[in-house]
Chain A
């Protein structure tokens, strides 16, 4: 038995070592470099510098991420509720295929599509002009904070809806039927029976989406317009232009804190719910 255990440890070892050397080590190194000076003593200088230079961008990033998460939540709840509750099967199967379309489309491709679509002479404005809703002079470019939010939502909606509609489909159908028989409307069923049960899945989908949005570099670079920009673009700039790893890592530390803040909010919320039902 001992022999067998050692064998299986040997089998896992290569993969584990790869993650340790090429992910965990740089991760800890970034935390270390964010709070230490050259001689290894602890300091807050890099964090202070990061805040004094980039506090606007940090706020901008938080606002963008929160707005995207809220829009994502609303849209994915709407779509998955429609998929699970709608009585029109043909519409449901069409919607089920449609929402998955962007699932594996890379961010950089999405960014390029949006860069042309949302521009002043992009297809969106041209369609409005052609339909007579606008004149060419009224058109405005959506590249900027709205464009970044639109791009994030467009891409991440498939992922969050996939998780959420899966969780909704896996709910106990008898419960929903019982509520229907007792005269509950579809809206009431959604908000009082289904949503409280799929809350953990929604939370996971939104936290993972936040992590993704915080680490995407191509979207702020290609859709954003100068200042303010997202922290990911600042980090790349700090490293590529100044070779200043300390401040870049301090910004990285702030981005970890933002993600863990959201994760903490989600955990606290779901613990509260568990406390309420137990």
Chain B
């Protein structure tokens, strides 16, 4: 009884202490995580903010912390129909659309064939389309430029479209394989049993089911082509000027306003695409990579 009486208050005090420490710890970790996220956000948004300021800065010299003169002067210059930017924006979009068409024509049949597990050497083919991502592609672009120079493809739209298509092919083939693999094989078989031909079945039964995935791959290839710099630098320059090349030239000439506005034109679609795909892109889906 005596010993019991002596020991009883101790655990409850301990418990109170522990609760207090737990609450303190948890509050500490909450605030430290808040601080981490705040710093992370500053690092992420800092460069973007600087870019936005440059797009509306008319004069900005050291040591002024902010531009001494603000204005939209350079926006009018950029969106003048005869400016370099409008011209290269059109070139860029034209090349990107052609790239999407080439990738679609090639990867829809390949994706359909590779989605069947009966396909011979399936793993080999899948790996073949992965190779362009597994090697540093700068050397390859350099040598493509040399080959294209011999056949007169250097500095032509066709040459640039080919380079962009090979780069986009891996994404479009792999996404198309996933899109066709998720279609219901029973519907295809039912259609064939009811007497429809293979081509009719493909276009009316299989393709509509795979359409969302194929559209996603098209958007992705379009963006990749729009943003591509290295390949265009070797194969297209100086005859073909896409937006990234114009950005590079403007920035190297110290024309930061034009460079920043061009960068913003490229930045907006890439962030929109990230937000769009964010809903569908569960990290768990990507967990299979590397296993």
Contact = CB atoms under 8 A, between A and B. Distances in A.
Given A14-B106, A113-B47, A252-B138, A106 B270 contact: yes
B50 interface: yes
Contact of A163 (B110, B145, B290): B290
A16 B282 CA distance: 30
A111 B162 CA distance: 26
B212 interface: no
A27 B119 contact: no
B142 A248 contact: yes
A109 B48 CA distance: 10
B143 A203 contact: no
A265 interface: no
Interface residues of A, number: 95
Interface in A44-86: 78-79, 82, 86
B131 A121 contact: no
B187 interface: no
A178 B116 CA distance: 41
B33 A116 contact: no
A162 B270 CA distance: 16
Say which size band chain B's interface belongs to: 35 or more
Interface in B241-272: 244, 247-248, 251-252, 256, 259-260, 263, 266-267, 270-271
Given A86-B33, A105-B270, A106-B244, 8 more contacts: A11-B112, A123-B47, A123-B53, A165-B283, A166-B286, A167-B287, A167-B290, A170-B284
Interface of A: 4-5, 7-9, 11-12, 14-16, 18-19, 22-27, 29-30, 33, 78-79, 82, 86-88, 91, 94-95, 97-117, 120-124, 126-127, 129-130, 136, 154, 162-163, 165-167, 169-170, 200-201, 203-205, 208, 211, 214-218, 221-222, 232, 235-236, 239, 245, 248-249, 252-253, 255-256, 259
